[in-house]
Each structure stands twice: as structure tokens, then as C-alpha cells.
């Protein structure tokens, strides 16, 4: 038996009438679809980019009003750190504590090594019970030497027998050198060397100095409490003055630095024209620019921890723009930190390894 397949009835072809709206019922050409996709993509891009642009503009305006780096300045620094753009400056080098990565810090071997490598050395100055300027960083001898107690409570005879230990982080744990007085160090290192003398923590026994002896706007309110009055700011500065005179070192070859404004005030009360540099670490990074500049206003410049310098190029620029203004970045222990000081625009980099600076400079260019 043959089964016949049934077919659906044919639908007669009817010409479609144009729609009342005038839109063709047929699909658009391919190029029209591509144009629409491009237009939709552009609209989406505009919808995403516009809020971002407004946010960046608001951030820039807020930075200017509140006193923080603009996004453009931060972007430039970031590109510099990545090696995309050149540094804002190529710093000069200062040997930190002489050259603490080469020999025990603040000792004659370290100072000699730093001076030979870069011609500028930083060292820490405190005072003995006999009123002599000695080179030592810590408030007590215990951690970094074979001595005990506070240097300011020890006589010159006792301090003359102290040996300073090298830093274990620099492979110098078994290396020692004699504790050094400032005057013989100035003489032994020789002429033609610039010095950065870091005035250590000191107080003002008996109250503030007479009116008119400090720079405008500077007080001694920041002087820390020192129960036994072991280190007096005027006495420490007096000991430094005696050492400079004994060695015949010109004040033009010396920059004084301290974390303590009243210590710098003691320097200025002795030498009104002395170069004085206030030191600040990375904890100051969130402070508005106006507030920071108030702190630095009486002084020649700033010694900034390198992380603070690279995060606040606005502060670096403001300090260097002043007549004679100078900015030091500390403490540099590698090529990355050295480049960061240059990216921030600092003029000097205080480094533990002055003997490595030539290689870092070559890498930074």
C-alpha cells in the first residue's frame, strides 16, 4: 500500500505593506549593525570614563585645597620609580654615620671611608660628662658597644676605652673600632670634606633661653624631659663649637641636623647664619603641606626619610624652591631607594654605602 505524504498548503506570497512608522520590516544592512554596536560601545565607554574623570578632577582639587600631592605628581613619581621617566634630580651622596655599611658607625674608619668615597659625611654628636663632643647615636652605650650607661654620664677617660661594634646587618658583627671624639675626627679626616652634624636629643635645664635668641616662631616647648639634665642643648652646642675651633673647621663646611627644633634653635642661638636642617620620618606622610611647611619654615631645609620624600614630592618641591633650600633623603641602602630620592627631587641622599653610589648613579640614568 502506498502512503501519500501530505504537504501543508502553500501560503501565497503577499507583498508586505510599509509599516505606519516608516521603519522597514527587513533586517538592516551589516554595516548599519556594526555602526550601532560601535555607538553603544562608545556610549558605555563615556558612561564609565566620565565618572572616573570627575573623580580624578575632584581628587586633584582636594589635593590642592588640603595641601597634598596632586594625582599628576603622584603618577609622575610612580612612572619614575618604574623607570619609565627620568628622575627629577640626580642627588649627591652623604655617608651615613660615616659609612656604617663599611665600618662601625661614627668611628674614624667609617668617617674616613665615607669622606674618601663621596666627600660628605653625616655623624651623630653627643656630649660627655666632661663637656666634650663625642660621636655616638644611641642614648645608651649598651646596644652598640662594650660600654654601659649613658655617654653623657661618662667621663672622657671612660669613653676613651669604649669599642663600638659594627652592624650585624652589614656583616660587621665581629668588627669593632674606638669611640671617637669630634675634634680629632675633624682633623684626621682632613680638609675639603663637608660635615653633617646630627645634634642628639637634649634639654634646656633652667628653662628657655633669653628672649630674642631663638629664630622667630621657635620655642623650646618640644625639648624632651631629661630628669637628670644629662644633655643640655647649649652645653652640647658649646662642645661642638670647641671641637670646630680646635680642628680649624669652617662653619661653611658644616650642616646641622636634628629631629628636635629646640636643638636647632640652640645652634642658631650660637651661629645665627648656620645651615640647619630639620629631620622628619615617614610618620609625617599624612600631614597637610601647610602644616609641614610651618615646621620647616625657620630652617634651611629638611632631612626626610626617603619613603616620606617619595610619597610627598610636593613637600620636596616646596623646600627646594626656597632660596638656599635643600632636601636630604635618608637612609639609602640600595639602588631602589637611591632612585626614589631622585624621583622625589631630593638634592642629597644619605647612604650607608657611599662606596656603592657610583653604580647606583649609573643605573638611575
Domain boundary residue among 50, 66, 82?
66
* Residue 83 covered by a domain: no
Same domain as 283, residue 153: yes
Same domain as 338, residue 239: yes
* Residue 298 covered by a domain: yes
Same domain as 230, residue 148: yes
pTM, two decimals, is: 0.81
pLDDT band at 362 (very low <50, low <70, confident <90, very high): confident
Same domain as 136, residue 219: yes
* Residue 148 covered by a domain: yes
Rg (CA), the chain: 33
* Residue 20 covered by a domain: no
Same domain as 125, residue 54: no
* Residue 143 covered by a domain: yes
Domain encompassing residue 224: 92-364
**CATH code for the domain of 163:** 3.20.20.190
Same domain as 102, residue 62: no
Same domain as 264, residue 116: yes
**Model pLDDT for residues 14-41, shown as the tens digit of each residue:** 555 555 555 556 565 555 567 777 777 7
* Residue 85 covered by a domain: no
- Taking residue 190's Cβ as centre, other Cβ atoms within 10 Å add up to 10
Asked whether residue 111 carries a pLDDT value surpassing 80, the answer given is yes
pLDDT of res. 331: 97
Asked whether residue 1 carries a pLDDT value surpassing 60, the answer given is no
Same domain as 141, residue 97: yes
Average pLDDT score, the chain? 86
Same domain as 333, residue 210: yes
Same domain as 154, residue 52: no
pLDDT of res. 39: 72
Number of compact structural domains in the chain: 2
For cell 650607608, name the residue. Answer: 352
Asked whether residue 58 carries a pLDDT value surpassing 90, the answer given is no
**Model pLDDT for residues 279-320, shown as the tens digit of each residue:** 999 999 999 999 999 999 999 999 999 999 999 999 999 999
pLDDT of res. 33: 65
Same domain as 145, residue 39: no
* Residue 329 covered by a domain: yes
Asked whether residue 364 carries a pLDDT value surpassing 80, the answer given is no
Counting residues of the chain whose pLDDT is more than 70, the rounded percentage is 78
**Model pLDDT for residues 244-285, shown as the tens digit of each residue:** 999 999 999 999 999 988 889 889 889 999 999 999 999 999
Same domain as 331, residue 220: yes
* Residue 2 covered by a domain: no
pLDDT of res. 7: 55
pLDDT of res. 156: 98
Amino acid at each position: 500500500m502506498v502512503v501519500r505524504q501530505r504537504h501543508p498548503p502553500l501560503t501565497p506570497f503577499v507583498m508586505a505593506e510599509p509599516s505606519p512608522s516608516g521603519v522597514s520590516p527587513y533586517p538592516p544592512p551589516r554595516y548599519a549593525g556594526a555602526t550601532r554596536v560601535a555607538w553603544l560601545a562608545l556610549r558605555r565607554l563615556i558612561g564609565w570614563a566620565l565618572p572616573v574623570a570627575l573623580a580624578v578632577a575632584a581628587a586633584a582639587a582636594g589635593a590642592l585645597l588640603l595641601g597634598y600631592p596632586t594625582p599628576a605628581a603622584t603618577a609622575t613619581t610612580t612612572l619614575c620609580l618604574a623607570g619609565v621617566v627620568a628622575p627629577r634630580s640626580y642627588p649627591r651622596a652623604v655617608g651615613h654615620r660615616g659609612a656604617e655599611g663599611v665600618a662601625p658607625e661614627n668611628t674614624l674608619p667609617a668617617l674616613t671611608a665615607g669622606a674618601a668615597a663621596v666627600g660628605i659625611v653625616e655623624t651623630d654628636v653627643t656630649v660627655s660628662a666632661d663637656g666634650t663632643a663625642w660621636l655616638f647615636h644611641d642614648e645608651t652605650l649598651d646596644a652598640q658597644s662594650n660600654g654601659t650607661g649613658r655617654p653623657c654620664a661618662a667621663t672622657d677617660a671612660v669613653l676613651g676605652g669604649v669599642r663600638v661594634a659594627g652592624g650585624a646587618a652589614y656583616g660587621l658583627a665581629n668588627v669593632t673600632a674606638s669611640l671617637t671624639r669630634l675634634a680629632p675626627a675633624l682633623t684626621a679626616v682632613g680638609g675639603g670634606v663637608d660635615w653633617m652634624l646630627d645634634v642628639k636629643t637634649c634639654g634646656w635645664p633652667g628653662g628657655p633661653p633669653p628672649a630674642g635668641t631663638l629664630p622667630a616662631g621657635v620655642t623650646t616647648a618640644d625639648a624632651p624631659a631629661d630628669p637628670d639634665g644629662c644633655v643640655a642643648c647649649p652645653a652640647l652646642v658649646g662642645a661642638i663649637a670647641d671641637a670646630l675651633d680646635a680642628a680649624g673647621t669652617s662653619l661653611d663646611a658644616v650642616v646641622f641636623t636634628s629631629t628636635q627644633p629646640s636643638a636647632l634653635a640652640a645652634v642658631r642661638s650660637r651661629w645665627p647664619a648656620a645651615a640647619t636642617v630639620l629631620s622628619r620620618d615617614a610618620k609625617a606622610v599624612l600631614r597637610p603641606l601647610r602644616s609641614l611647611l610651618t615646621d620647616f619654615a625657620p630652617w634651611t631645609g629638611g632631612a626626610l626619610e626617603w619613603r616620606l620624600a617619595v610619597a610627598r614630592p610636593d613637600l620636596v618641591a616646596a623646600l627646594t624652591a626656597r632660596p638656599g633650600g635643600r632636601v636630604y633623603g635618608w637612609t639609602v641602602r640600595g639602588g631602589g631607594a637611591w632612585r626614589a630620592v631622585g624621583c622625589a627631587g631630593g638634592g642629597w641622599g644619605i647612604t650607608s654605602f657611599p662606596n656603592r653610589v657610583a653604580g647606583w648613579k649609573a643605573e638611575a640614568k
